[in-house]
Amino acid sequence: MNAHGGKRRGAGRPRGSNAYGEPTVPVRIPKSRVISVKAFLAACKAQNDRQSPVESIVPASDSGPDTTLPLFSTRVQAGFPSPADDHIEKRLNLNDYLIKQADATFLVTITGLSMRDAGLLPKDVVVVDRSRTAGVGNIVMAVVDGEFTIKYLGLGEHGNPLLIPANPEFKAIEIKEGMQFEIWGVVTGSVRKYL
């Protein structure tokens, strides 16, 4: 019997030791869709967590056709503006305005109130750009011990990353040794629907 190569009893990871607690199968996907598939799987896992501040994740590249809307050149206060055609400066494409790199950008629906004072409320949709490098003070989408969270990025007392909520009813999360931590992307914008 040859002792080299082939299947060995007891080799590999134990069954069910992955993040989902299930056996896995190999799947081949196009390189261009890897980020989308990973985001989808992460969103599925996050939806199973009751305290996840993320309701859904959608790749911006799948957001459909571009639409332009009229952009008025006059600043509008909370009074009675007169939106006449001669005040239209140009047409605005929201994808161009909100998205820098479509294949690295995702639209994420917020749940919870931890970022309330930053103006992010439940059902708001935030734009998360994975191509940007996060800096202190940015709002980031992070994964901490397998759970998504959206917080301000700061530094703790010992220089460790600190995830800071924008609501005094929530505690900051200091990233300590042994914790799984990844900055998934930087929040670059948000959209709110009123009706």
Residues annotated as part of the active site? 114, 151
Q: Are 44 and 20 in contact (CB under 8 A)?
A: no
* Alpha-helical runs (H) found in the chain: 34-48, 94-98
| Secondary structure of residue 97 in the 3-state scheme | helix
Which residues on adjacent β-strands are paired with residue 56? 109
Closest CA to 73 of 63, 81, 62, 61: 81
Task: Enumerate residues 6+ apart whose C-beta is below 8 A from 98.
Answer: 127, 188, 189, 191
Residue 111 identity (one-letter amino acid): T
